[in-house]
Amino acid sequence: MPETLLIHGNPLIGLYVRASDDIAFIGVRDERARRTIERELEVKVVRTTVSGSELVGAMMALNSSGAVVGRYLREKELNRIRREIDVLVVDIEINCMGNVVALNDRGAIVHPDIKEEVLWEIRDFLGVEVVKGTIGGVKTVGMSSAVTNSGALVNPNSTEWEMERIAEVLEVEPVRGTVNFGSEMVGTGVVANSKGYVAGRDTTGFELGVIEEALGFI
């Protein structure tokens, strides 16, 4: 049976956790959540805040090459994350980098209002193709998708053009779906990598089946 989870009683678990194939960062002290993510994703789990916020999933973009965070990251947080992985701090007004970047080890799609020079910074740091775009017509692409190296679950309103762009840039076949009993912002309800996933507690059996197909587990 697929694992589902609440964090602080909240099924929006993707707001609190950001994972790659190697590591996951969590913003809250929740031993059950830590153990579940460690077991299901087969990663080391590190607790930290980002820019003083527990919403690490919203604040951090992450792949196997490093983490991208906003300019309000505190020095203590930077040192904590840098003990585990390389960090790029971008100097832009948008601080919630996890919200605005859909990322795996092959490419990234970012909020269309991010400046070109920031795209180049991210591209050089992570060593992947970076393009602007929307997912489901939504600019906060990181919360409108759940992307791994094996697949992508995307907002059910995603157009064929958006789906083709995801397949081209991220090199995975996206599947439309929802989480947490109909939420279109699928990144808020799934924490995943290529080895496993955890979904928010309100996610239905049908939705779990779509998630497993989208992320390559069936």
Tens of pLDDT, residue by residue over 57-76, are 999 999 999 999 999 999 99
CB contact at 8 A, 90 and 51: no
Tens of pLDDT, residue by residue over 171-181, are 999 999 999 99
Strands 66-70 and 61-63: antiparallel
Tens of pLDDT, residue by residue over 206-215, are 999 999 999 9
Tens of pLDDT, residue by residue over 90-135, are 998 888 999 999 999 999 999 999 999 999 999 999 999 999 999 9
Is residue 9 classed as helix, strand or coil in its secondary structure?
coil
CB contact at 8 A, 86 and 62: no
What is the model's pTM? 0.97
Distance CA 127, CA 136 (A): 26
What residues does each domain of the chain span? 4-214
Q: Is the pLDDT of residue 1 over 70?
A: no
pLDDT of residue 218: 84
Please identify which residue in the block is written with the tokens 């996610």: 203
Adjacent-strand bridge partners of 176: 154
**pLDDT tier at 146, thresholds 50, 70, 90:** very high
Supply 191's token pair.
């924490």
Supply 62's token pair.
């992450």
The CATH homologous superfamily of the domain defined by 4-214: L-arginine/glycine Amidinotransferase; Chain A (3.75.10.10)
10 Å CB burial of residue 101 (0-12, 13-18, 19+) is: buried
- DSSP character string of 7-43: BTTBS-GGGTEEE-SSEEEE-S--HHHHHHHHHHHT-
Distance CA 210, CA 195 (A): 16
pLDDT of residue 3: 87
